Amino acid sequence: MIQLKTDDEVDIMRESAKLAAEVLVMIEPFVQPGVTTNRLNDLCHDFIISHGAIPSPLNYRGFPKSICSSVNEEICHGIPSDRKLRNGDVINLDITTYLNGFHGDTSRMFHVGSARKKMSRLVETCKEALQSAIKLVRPGAFLGDIGATIQNLAEERGYSVVREFCGHGIGRAFHEDPQVLHVGTFGEGLELRKGMVFTIEPMINEGKPDLKILADKWTAVTTDGLASVQFEHTLAVLENGCEVLTRIDGLTDF
C-alpha cells in the first residue's frame, strides 16, 4: 500500500533528505586516490550521528556498514572495506539518513583523481537520465514515463539499464511502495498522485545489464566486468510538479 504523505510530513522529510545531501557534500574532498572505503564510511557515519540522525543502512537486514560504496564494476550495495581507491576509479556513495522519524535517500558518482573520458560520458549520461525523469514527475504522470525516459536515453547512447534493482517509496520506512522501475513504456504503470514520495535511482552499465551477487550476499557487480554508475534523489509529488528533497541549490549539481 502506498503511504501518501501530508504536507506536514513532507516538511519533516525535508530535514532528513537535506542531511543526506549534506553528507555527499561533506565527503567529496575525501574521495581521493589512496583513501579506503572504510575511511569514507567512518567519516559519513560520524557526520550523520553528530547531526542527531542514524545511518539507515547500518544493520538493515544485516548490512554491516553505514553507507554503500560501489566502485567501478560494482553496481550497488558495495560494503565499505580496506580497499584503497585508485586514480581513475569511479565510485558511488549511497547515503540514507533517519531523522525525526523519516528517511532521506540519495547517492551520486565521484571520479577518483583524474577522470577518464570514457567514464565521464557514462557518468554524465546517468546524471542526465535522472534529471530528465525528474522533469516528468507530477500528478497525472505515470511510473512508466520515468522508466521509459531513462531507458531510452541510456540505450540511445549504447549503454544498458539494470533491471533487478529499482527506486522505491520512502518515508517512515526505508523502503515502501511503489517500486520505481528504470525501464518502461510511456503512459503505463501507476499514476502519480500528490503526496507520493519516492526515489529515482537509475543504475546504468557500460556494457551488458547482467549482474551477479558476490559471496558477501550484498554487493552486485556486472558480469562482464565493465563499469556501472548510479545517481539517486528522493522526491515528493506536489500539486503541480515535484520537489527534489535531496537537492541543495548551489551545492549539489545533479
Residue partners of 153: CB distance under 8 A and separation at least 6: 125, 128, 129, 132
- 193, 38 Cβ separation under 8 angstroms: no
In the prediction, which pLDDT does 141 show? 98
Neighbours of 11 (CB within 10 A): 11
Does this model's pTM top 0.85? My answer is yes
Q: Are 100 and 15 in contact (CB under 8 A)?
A: yes
Q: What is the pLDDT of residues 48-102, one digit of tens each?
A: 999 999 999 999 999 999 999 999 999 999 999 999 999 999 999 999 999 999 9
The mean pLDDT value for 109-138 works out to: 97
Sequence-ordered list of residues with C-beta below 8 angstroms from that of 107, at least 6 positions apart, any chain: 24, 68, 92, 93, 94, 95, 201, 230, 231, 232
Contacts of 15 (CB under 8 A, 6+ apart): 99, 100, 104
Domain boundaries, the chain: 7-244
For residue 229, pLDDT over 80 is answered with yes
Helix (H, G, I), strand (E, B) or coil at 117: helix
pLDDT at 253 over 90: no
Q: Kindly report the number of other CB atoms within 10 A of residue 252's CB atom.
A: 16
Please check whether residue 179 is in contact with residue 197, taking contact to mean a CB–CB distance below 8 angstroms. no
Q: Using 50, 70 and 90 to split pLDDT, how confident is the model at 249?
A: confident
Q: pLDDT band at 145, cuts 50/70/90? A: very high
What does the mean pLDDT of the chain come to?
97
- How far the first Cα of the chain sits from its last, in Å, is 30
Taking only the tens place, the pLDDT of each residue in 64-74 is 999 999 999 99
- CA dist 17 and 195 (Å) reads 16
Overall CATH class of domain 7-244: alpha beta
Using the predicted structure, report yes or no on whether residue 250 has a pLDDT greater than 80. Answer: no
Strands 242-244 and 233-237, bridge-based pairing: antiparallel
Question: Could you give the C-alpha distances from 221 to 41, 75, 193, 200, in angstroms and in order?
Answer: 20, 5, 34, 20
pLDDT score, position 18: 98
Separation between Cα atoms, residue 58 and residue 133, nearest integer Å: 29
Q: Collect all residues with Cβ–Cβ distance below 8 Å to 8 and sequence separation of at least 6.
A: none
Average pLDDT estimate for 171-185: 98
